[in-house]
Amino acid sequence: DVKVTQSSRYLVKRTGEKVFLECVQDMDHENMFWYRQDPGLGLRLIYFSYDVKMKEKGDIPEGYSVSREKKERFSLILESASTNQTSMYLCASSPTAGGPSEQYFGPGTRLTVT
Amino acid sequence: SQKIEQNSEALNIQEGKTATLTCNYTNYSPAYLQWYRQDPGRGPVFLLLIRENEKEKRKERLKVTFDTTLKQSLFHITASQPADSATYLCALPTSGTYKYIFGTGTRLKVLA
């Protein structure tokens, strides 16, 4: 079974802190994604990576950056956390198949910025 | 812009009945569509994928239809059980990329 793990289930940080969210997948998938999920807004893509050291902005990249130094690991960085970044953060991975493929999600990190 | 709409109101049904959830999309012609299940505090879990040339897809008690003329997908759970209570999301790929747009989901509650 594909497994996507995230470093923390719950995280509380102060405004202005630098925050690192880590995601690891064990199925050698090329594609990895970071989403945030808020009530009424659904899942919104923050960043996407289709290969090591490659990244692409999603719909809401402002205030975030990412790092993918190894294929299995995709990190989301909040350079200076703000209260409007309080949210559920979900990491996902998918293979680069010849056709459509599903995304495998991690359990999520609920981040609270105070 | 591309848009997906799912009924944001919760759907309550009696155990044993068929639940039907709707996913509508606009400004879009996806090659396929996916359905996911999400339990509270958890990440979504993939359920089914249906391609544009498939009218219907089944998996155990689940059935998905895809009407490209109406720009709509219906997701059915037959003989529903309380354990089916969850939020169900539909997702569409954006053309030319591996990125997806997700609907906001419909919360289903199956009453015993």
For A49-102, the pLDDT digits (tens) are 988 988 999 999 999 999 999 999 999 999 999 999 999 999 999 987 656 788
Nearest to B75 by CA among B103, B42, B40, B111: B103
Q: Does B105 touch chain A (CB under 8 A)?
A: yes
A6-55 pLDDT tens trace: 999 999 999 999 999 999 999 999 999 999 999 888 899 999 998 898 89
Residue A85 DSSP code: G
Q: Does B49 touch chain A (CB under 8 A)?
A: yes
Please list every residue in chain A whose beta carbon sits closer than 8 Å to the beta carbon of residue B89: 42-43
CA distance A93 to A74: 10
CA distance A92 to A80: 23
β-pairing, A54-57 vs A42-51, is antiparallel
| Least Cα separation, residue A40 to chain B (angstroms) | 6
Distances in whole angstroms, Cα of residue B68 to Cα of each of A30, A95, A106, B51: 30, 26, 31, 10
Residue B57 has pLDDT above 80, yes or no: yes
Closest CB to A31: pick one of B8, B98, B104: B98
